[in-house]
Amino acid sequence: MTGEDPAARQENAHAEAQRKYFGETQPNKLTFFSPMEGSAPEVVFPGVDHQEIMQVPEEIRENVDLNKWYQKRFYARPLVNVGGDEPMSVIHVEYGPGAHIPAHTHDAPQVIILLRGSVFQGKREITAGNGYYTPANVRYAVTAGPEGASMVEVRRCTLHDYDTTWVESNPARWT
């Protein structure tokens, strides 16, 4: 697309990859789900170059292999992903033991409920049965506890209608 803003191109490519991977739930149909049964598969976007589409500081793009970093890091399965006039998404996410997700923001608020394991935000540990709310555009990072973590994320938008902006600029924190 000639003349398209690079940031808009990144955003559109990421949204399209998510749309293909996650699909959508029927908006006017009662939907049942169980995040406690089964596990979340690794998130893989075939043909997607994370080096190109991830919204990261230039220091990270230049010093971190984002395709390698992304592998074996995100495990997720959509439970509800409804568009339309009242969009909503519920996604089951898992992180392996000690997995670190660097500082980032989302442009949509979220509610997180831990099902198993724990995550740390700084020194604060959030354990199974507890959760947290993150307003839109608030910076945070998480590190999974020694047993990993399984959680549910809830947002008032579809999985392809929110953006993640990675703000951590220290390559050493992308391990």
Query: Residue ranges of the domains in the chain?
Result: 6-26+39-173
Bridge partners for 146 per DSSP: none
Using alpha carbons, select from 142, 137, 107, 104 the residue that is nearest to residue 123.
142
Q: Into which CATH architecture does domain 6-26+39-173 fall?
A: Sandwich (2.60)
Condensed to tens digits (0 to 9), the pLDDT of residues 88-136 reads 999 999 999 999 999 999 999 999 999 999 999 989 999 999 999 999 9
Instruction: Spell out the residues 6+ positions from residue 39 whose beta carbon is closer than 8 angstroms to its own.
Output: 75, 94
Instruction: Spell out the residues 6+ positions from residue 154 whose beta carbon is closer than 8 angstroms to its own.
Output: 88, 89, 90, 110, 111, 112, 113
Condensed to tens digits (0 to 9), the pLDDT of residues 20-72 reads 767 777 667 777 788 888 788 777 777 778 888 888 999 999 999 988 887 77
Q: Model pTM?
A: 0.82
